[in-house]
Amino acid sequence: MALEFDQLFQIQRRFDRQAGWDQYERCNTHDETVAFMEHLTLKLVDELGEISRVRKKYLRDKEALDIATLKKEMVDIFIFAMQGSMCLDMNLENEYIRRMKHNRARFLGNVKPKQTATAKRGGG
């Protein structure tokens, strides 16, 4: 089931309200915003630590690569990115598109994007 980007935010906001994790809705001052961002930073570091542990188990301990855990942690990071964007009252989809345009100009210069097979056939 494919969801629209704004639907993901609606689902997350509803869940956060039910769980009492909706502090980002109270980022009305600079101090409140900074406090939430401090909290968010700690949560993101924790998730990155989980990814690092998977890496260490694979490289150092020669265990099987735990793709399921990597996927779970990436989703957690995405959730925190959504919450941070809600704190900042930003449209993450629009900001992503704007940033990709910036990155394309900065890192690729005049390189034209590669066409997908669908685009080459006239489908996109």
Domains, the chain: 7-114 (1.10.287)
Q: How confident is the model at residue 107 (pLDDT cuts 50, 70, 90)?
A: very high
Predicted TM-score of the model (pTM): 0.84
Helix ranges (H only) for the chain are: 5-19, 30-59, 67-87, 92-103, 117-120
- Judged against a pLDDT cut of 60, whether residue 116 lies above it is answered with yes
CA angle 11, 99, 80 (to 5 degrees): 35
Q: How confident is the model at residue 99 (pLDDT cuts 50, 70, 90)?
A: very high
Q: Supply 61's token pair.
A: 């301990």
Amino acid 1: pLDDT: 77
Chain centre to alpha carbon of residue 121: 32
Q: How far is CA 107 from CA 96, 103, 104, 113, 114, in A?
A: 16, 6, 5, 12, 15
**What tens digit of pLDDT does each residue of 70-87 get?**
999 999 999 999 999 999
Q: CB neighbours of 74 closer than 8 A, spacing ≥ 6?
A: 51
